[in-house]
């Protein structure tokens, strides 16, 4: 028997047992005592004595039944069957001597057996035995007292069989209906319990109000929000007032919640609607309402939600967005003049207009180095803003890793020389000439580590070692003989805004360099930067990055070199054309910043490429139309993306539109030029019709190589 069946049978026995107790009580109070008087004064003394004994036993059985009321189902079933068996015998035995009221006794016996005794028995064998016993007992009694004549006619047998079949069928369906009803009641009860648990545990408050202003349902959360008891809910709703400028519903001009509820009652067609925000006990609560039918009556289903955390989150997101925008804008504005300083200083060093002493050249080199270091710091800020915005990307290409190492070392060499610090760099000859990585990010990591080493080293040396490790990764170590790092700072070394401040060296910084560098190493396929340090002895920083485009297995140095050489032979980086093809070709420079236009103009002039200038998108559009009308067209347009009046995106769309309308005989190759380099910015360039993208600033070589592709 399953658990649910056992529960059902226990409930069935319990209910039947209560009926039997009531039945026996009726028998005792109504039937037994009159029978005692009747037997004592009217019948013979022998029968009276027998009746008294029978009645006393009956009373004893009643007491026994009451005693077993709280016992197990099996115990109650056995006691009930025995008691009812005794009662049927108490009806049967007097009928053997006294024929008076025999039909009444037979009816009482039949009712007791069918209505009370048999339902207490689940076993079919016992059920049928009790039924057959009852039929035979009254049949032979009827024959004995000559109510029926004894015969061998088959009719009594058929009648008895019919009674047995009918009783079995009736009992089967009675039990089936009872079981199904019990299961259904349990499912309803379980559903009610689940509904109760869910509604009470629900983080939103729930209130159901009928049209007669009666609260039909609520949960504990609603009481907590309103800070009241059940009978006070409606009075609290009448006091609720929307916060200033936070009413969303437009039903009326009232600031009271109850006025909106009355409007919804009057307009049953109103569906789900957000009413507004109400503040109760410093909790901002968002109220929603919906018309429903509750027990055939119109009602409003109210939900109340605590939106304090959502408001705080929105503020935090808005603040983060503002920080990101501010960082990007400020960094963009700083990069433009710094890029100009670096470019023109480099030009003065390489091609001075006048002869200048070496000391003056050294000063110019310091200006160049300082501007590049400032650009590096600004790039850190830009990278940090991209990481916060989730827009940071890695762009891997085939690159010259040796040149990147040399450039990084060259950038700090002059400062190291002034501090009397030796700068040593060792590069493994097995490193391929070209590697597949993001060379800008690699240079950024290296420059951050070298700058830190220079900052915290007073005397001794800074050594950089680069080699291919056993996993075919490029491993790099920067070691110095500086002041070292204590254990407390070392634990927080790669966290945001962590600095190793030293009052003697005045070594303050943004605290982002190592955090960003560690992030970049992981983005380039490494496991992060490992730091070792001893106070007063120095520090070393070690990292490894992937440098092969596809290396499922570890390859030998010879295989790596062969594959890299093959890739290099096919790389656009080494592609060159006859430069005479670019003579007399025209490039249109479009930028609202004079310095940016001067830089690009200088680069193009040095490479004998003719150019024109436009200061915004509208000016560029006019120049392109003018050029087209003269039967010519610019081969390339270098288009700044962010400009006043008409930006680069809108200008590009207009140019493409003119070409599709056949108002331009040829579409120029438009290259986006922007300091913003996220995927979103790049995609925006391609979506509006640009053919390529240049980050601002870009090295002269990169700009010329890209221009060659489209001339």
Mean pLDDT of 661-666: 90
So what's the architecture of 393-570 in CATH?
2-Layer Sandwich (3.30)
Confidence of residue 52 (pLDDT cuts 50, 70, 90): low
Arithmetic mean of pLDDT, 511-531: 86
Q: What is the pLDDT of residue 597?
A: 84
Write down the domain spans for the chain: 3-181, 205-306, 393-570, 578-710
The pLDDT confidence band at residue 508, using thresholds 50, 70 and 90, is: very low
Across residues 185-205, what is the average pLDDT?
86
pLDDT of residue 481: 92
Contact 200, 219 (CB under 8 A): yes
What's the pLDDT tens digit per position in 365-419? 767 776 776 777 777 767 766 776 666 778 888 888 888 888 888 878 877 887 7
pLDDT of residue 560: 38
> What local confidence, expressed as pLDDT, does residue 584 receive?
41
* CATH architecture of the domain with range 205-306: 2-Layer Sandwich (3.30)
**Euclidean distance between CA atoms 524 and 527, whole angstroms:** 9
Whole-angstrom Cα distance, residue 275 to residue 474?
A: 61
Cα gap 71→69, rounded to integer Å: 6
pLDDT of 582: 30
What pLDDT does residue 336 have?
67
Q: Which residue has the higher pLDDT, 640 or 415?
A: 640
Decide if pLDDT at 37 tops 90.
no
Which pLDDT belongs to residue 297? 86
What mean pLDDT comes out for the span 294-319?
87
pLDDT above 50: residue 575: no
- Nearest to residue 306, comparing CAs of 217, 202, 216? 202
In this predicted structure, the answer to whether residue 122 has a pLDDT above a threshold of 70 is yes
Asked if residue 264 lies in contact with residue 252, where contact means CB atoms within 8 angstroms, the answer is no
Give the least confident one: 104-108, 189-193, 244-248, 545-549: 104-108
Is 578-710 the same fold as 205-306?
Answer: no
pLDDT for 183 beyond 90: no
Pairing of strands 610-614, 530-534: unpaired
Residue scoring higher pLDDT (672 or 151)? 672
CATH of 578-710, one of 3.40.50.2300, 3.40.50.620, 3.90.1490.10, 3.40.50.280: 3.40.50.2300
Burial profile 513-530: b = 16 or more Cβ within 10 angstroms, e = fewer: bbbbbbbbbeebbbeebe
pLDDT attached to residue 409? 87
pLDDT of residue 652: 95
> 343-364 burial, b for 16+ CB within 10 Å, e for fewer?
bbbbbbbeeeeeeeeeeeeeeb
Whether 208 has a pLDDT exceeding 80, the answer reads yes
CA distance 155 to 140: 15
Tally of CB atoms within 10 A around 510: 14
- Residues 499-517 have a mean pLDDT of 57
Query: Does 163 have pLDDT greater than 70?
Result: yes
């Amino acid at each position: 028997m399953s658990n649910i069946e056992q529960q059902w049978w226990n409930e069935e026995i319990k209910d039947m047992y209560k009926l039997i107790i009531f039945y026996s009580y009726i028998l005792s109070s109504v039937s037994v005592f009159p029978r005692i008087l009747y037997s004592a004064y009217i019948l013979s003394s022998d029968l009276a004595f027998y009746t008294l004994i029978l009645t006393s036993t009956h009373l004893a059985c009643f007491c026994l039944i009451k005693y077993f009321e709280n016992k197990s189902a099996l115990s109650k079933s056995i006691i009930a069957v025995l008691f009812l068996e005794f009662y049927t015998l108490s009806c049967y035995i007097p009928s053997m001597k006294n024929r008076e009221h025999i039909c009444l006794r037979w009816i009482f016996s039949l009712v007791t057996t069918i209505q009370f005794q048999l339902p207490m028995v689940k076993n079919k064998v016992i059920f049928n035995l009790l039924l057959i016993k009852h039929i035979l007992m009254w049949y032979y009694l009827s024959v004995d007292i000559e109510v029926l004549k004894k015969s061998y006619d088959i009719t009594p047998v058929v009648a008895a069989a019919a009674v047995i079949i009918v009783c079995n069928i009736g009992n089967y369906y009675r039990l089936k209906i009872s079981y199904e009803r019990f299961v259904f009641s349990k499912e309803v009860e379980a559903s009610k319990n689940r509904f109760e648990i869910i509604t009470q545990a629900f983080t939103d408050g729930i209130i159901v109000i009928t049209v007669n202003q009666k609260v039909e349902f609520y949960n504990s959360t609603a009481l907590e929000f309103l800070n009241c008891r059940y009978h006070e809910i409606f009075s609290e709703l009448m006091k609720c007032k929307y916060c200033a400028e936070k009413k969303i519903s437009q039903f009326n001009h009232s600031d009271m919640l109850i006025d909106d509820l009355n409007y919804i009652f009057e307009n049953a067609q109103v569906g789900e609607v957000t009413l507004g925000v109400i503040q109760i006990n410093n909790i901002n609560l968002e109220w929603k309402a919906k018309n429903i039918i509750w027990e055939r009556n119109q009602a409003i289903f109210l939900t109340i939600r605590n939106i304090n955390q959502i408001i705080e989150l929105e503020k935090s997101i808005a603040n983060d967005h503002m920080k990101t925008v501010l960082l990007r804008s400020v960094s963009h504005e700083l990069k433009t003049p710094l890029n100009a300083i670096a470019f023109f200083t480099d030009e003065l060093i390489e091609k001075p207009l006048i002869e200048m002493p070496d000391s003056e050249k050294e000063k110019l080199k310091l200006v160049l180095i300082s501007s590049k270091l400032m650009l590096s710091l600004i790039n850190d800020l830009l990278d940090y803003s991209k990481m916060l915005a989730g827009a940071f990307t890695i762009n891997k290409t085939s690159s010259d890793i040796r040149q990147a190492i040399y450039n990084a070392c060259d950038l700090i060499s002059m400062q190291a020389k002034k501090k009397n610090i030796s700068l040593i760099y060792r590069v493994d000859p097995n490193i391929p000439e070209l590697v597949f990585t993001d060379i800008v990010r690699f240079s950024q990591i290296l420059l951050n580590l070298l700058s830190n080493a220079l900052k915290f080293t007073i005397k001794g040396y800074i050594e950089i070692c680069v080699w291919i490790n056993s996993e075919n990764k490029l491993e790099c170590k920067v070691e110095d003989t500086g002041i070292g790092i204590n254990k407390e700072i070392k634990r927080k070394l790669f966290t945001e805004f962590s600095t190793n401040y030293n009052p003697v060296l005045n070594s303050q910084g943004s605290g982002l360099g190592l955090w960003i560098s560690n992030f970049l190493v992981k983005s380039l396929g490494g496991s992060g930067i490992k730091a070792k340090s001893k106070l007063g002895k120095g520090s070393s920083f070690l990292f490894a990055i992937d440098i092969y485009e596809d290396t499922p297995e570890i390859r030998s140095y010879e295989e790596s070199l062969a594959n890299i050489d093959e890739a290099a032979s096919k790389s656009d980086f080494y592609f060159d054309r006859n430069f005479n093809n670019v003579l007399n070709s025209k490039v249109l420079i479009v930028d609202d910043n004079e310095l940016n236009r001067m830089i690009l103009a200088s680069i193009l002039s040095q490479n004998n490429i003719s150019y024109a200038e436009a200061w915004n998108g509208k000016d560029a559009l006019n120049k392109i139309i003018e050029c087209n009308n003269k039967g010519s067209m610019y081969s390339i347009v270098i288009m700044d993306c962010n400009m006043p009046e008409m930006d680069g995106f809108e200008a590009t769309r207009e140019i493409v539109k003119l070409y599709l309308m056949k108002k331009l005989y040829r579409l120029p190759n438009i290259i986006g030029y922007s300091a913003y380099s996220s995927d979103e910015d790049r995609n925006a360039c391609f979506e509006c019709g640009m053919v390529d993208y240049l980050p601002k600033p870009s090295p002269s070589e990169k700009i010329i190589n890209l221009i060659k592709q489209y001339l």
